[in-house]
């Protein structure tokens, strides 16, 4: 499978859940079902529409949408939320160009949002109707709602030397063994620059030549993964000594994890041009803006919502993993959606050529 373009939503979700989590989800799902049934009697009075559809990435993230946002939305409107997967810029473009728009919201990456906007594929959001609670600035765009922060972080087995930076991750003399990183330019190139000593706040604009030279130094010890769910097994099987992976993948004990040197990013919802139920879509986004709902979502999958006060509503154990944790923000790097929207095609081309030649 070829690497996904930068403008597509990266599949970072893991559907693997422990028994305890499954119990919590089943219990919460029962509450959601009761809310749906009780709202059903009033649905005709609230709306003639029976359901709205969104396209998102699935996995535990999708489950958190159902329980934390879908259930209160249905209770308030009497309208059922239906999720579909996977999202992509190509799917959005096909819907809009054909005039057959079946979804009211679609999840996209930051660069995907900017490309969709430039191509006239999305509508501006009605923020008056959304009536949001406080949101982080980068999450509230005129044309996109940043609903979820996620991050790339470091992990290893406990018998490996603890790794505290991308420079140490890259140092094969300090700790021999293979390293596993994403097979996507949007994360592999920034990671390589951080490993080469670039400061997080000086990462953009990316120096692609320098990034490829950094990767070239340890290419014989690199594994490129296409699904983050592979990474725990890569460690267990000793195929890799260190991995760079998503923050919602490691659900079990027995691994050393370090979130401090992470790379954080934002997943957005956009409204396709010609969406059938724009007002209901805004009401769903209203539920996503509520910090209490975001806290519920964080219990299901360890990614942060867009509220600046989310840390006040979640446990210390979950706080330690949140990309919006102020302490982690001091050491993590952020992605630049505008740079990738403008230069992503060239970066992807260079990266694809390099991979074909070297891996």
Q: How would you write the pLDDT of the chain (359 residues) with one tens digit per residue?
A: 333 333 334 444 443 444 444 444 444 444 444 444 444 444 444 568 899 999 999 988 999 999 999 999 999 999 999 999 999 999 999 999 999 999 999 999 999 999 999 999 999 999 999 999 999 999 999 999 999 999 999 999 989 998 999 999 999 999 999 999 999 999 999 999 999 999 999 999 999 999 999 999 999 999 999 999 899 999 999 999 999 999 777 766 688 999 999 999 999 999 999 999 999 999 999 999 999 999 999 999 888 999 999 999 999 999 998 999 999 999 999 999 999 999 999 999 999 999 999 99
Residues 6+ apart with CB under 8 A from 311: 319, 322, 324, 325, 326
59 and 169 within one domain: no
In angstroms, what CA-CA distances link 267 with 56, 80, 224, 340? 10, 23, 22, 14
Q: Is residue 13 part of a domain?
A: no
Query: How many distinct structural domains can be found in the chain?
Result: 2
- Distance between CA atoms of residues 187 and 10, nearest Å: 10
CATH number at residue 181: 3.40.190.10
Residue 183 and residue 97 share a domain: no
Are 341 and 219 members of one domain?
Answer: yes
Place of tokens 């989310």: 310
Considering the domain architecture, whether residues 186 and 138 belong to the same structural domain is answered as no
| Predicted model pTM | 0.85
Q: Is residue 234 part of a domain?
A: yes
Residues 45 and 165 in one domain: no
Are 177 and 93 within one domain? no
**Same domain, yes or no: 101 and 229:** no
Q: Which domain holds residue 68?
A: 19-149+266-324
Contacts 24+ apart (CB under 8 A), 121-125: 121/89, 121/92, 121/93, 121/96, 121/272, 121/273, 122/92, 122/270, 122/271, 122/272, 122/273, 123/271, 123/272, 123/273, 123/275, 123/278, 125/271, 125/282, 125/285
Same domain, residue pair 137 and 284: yes
pLDDT of residue 18: 44
pLDDT digits (tens, 9 = 90+) for 131-145: 999 999 999 999 999
What does DSSP say about strands 105-109 and 51-55: parallel, antiparallel, or unpaired?
parallel
Question: Do 63 and 139 have their domain in common?
Answer: yes
- If asked whether residues 249 and 102 sit together in one domain, one would say no
Residues 249 and 158 in one domain: yes
Same-domain check for residues 281 and 312: yes
């Amino acid at each position: 499978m070829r690497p996904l373009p930068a403008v597509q939503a990266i599949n970072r979700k893991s559907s693997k859940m422990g028994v305890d989590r499954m119990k919590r989800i089943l219990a919460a799902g029962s509450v959601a079902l009761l809310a749906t049934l009780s709202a059903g009697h009033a649905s005709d009075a609230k709306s003639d529409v029976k359901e709205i559809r969104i396209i998102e990435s699935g996995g535990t993230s999708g489950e958190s949408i159902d329980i934390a946002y879908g259930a209160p939305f249905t209770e308030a409107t009497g309208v059922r939320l239906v999720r579909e997967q996977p999202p992509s810029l190509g799917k959005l473009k096909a819907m809009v160009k054909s005039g057959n728009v079946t979804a009211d919201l679609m999840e996209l990456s930051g660069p995907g949002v900017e490309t969709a906007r430039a191509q006239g594929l999305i509508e501006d959001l009605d923020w008056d109707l959304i009536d949001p609670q406080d949101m982080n600035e980068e999450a509230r765009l005129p044309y996109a709602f940043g609903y979820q922060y996620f991050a790339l972080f470091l992990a290893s087995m406990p018998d490996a030397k603890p790794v505290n930076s991308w420079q140490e991750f890259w140092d094969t003399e300090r700790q021999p063994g293979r390293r596993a990183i994403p097979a996507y330019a949007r994360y592999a190139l920034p990671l390589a620059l951080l490993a080469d000593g670039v400061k997080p706040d000086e990462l953009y604009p990316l120096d692609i030549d320098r990034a490829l030279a950094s990767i070239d130094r340890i290419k014989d010890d690199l594994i490129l993964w296409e699904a983050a769910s592979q990474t725990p097994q890569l460690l267990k099987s000793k195929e890799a000594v260190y991995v760079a992976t998503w923050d919602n993948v490691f659900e079990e004990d027995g691994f050393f994890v370090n979130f401090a040197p992470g790379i954080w990013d934002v997943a957005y919802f956009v409204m396709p041009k010609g969406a059938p139920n724009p007002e209901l879509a805004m009401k769903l986004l209203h539920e996503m803006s509520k910090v209490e709902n975001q806290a519920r979502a964080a219990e299901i999958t360890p990614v942060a919502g867009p509220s600046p006060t989310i840390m006040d509503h979640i446990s210390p154990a979950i706080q330690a993993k949140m990309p919006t944790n102020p302490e982690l923000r001091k050491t993590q790097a952020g992605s630049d959606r505008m740079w990738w929207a403008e230069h992503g095609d060239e970066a992807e081309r260079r990266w694809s050529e390099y991979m074909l030649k070297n891996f």
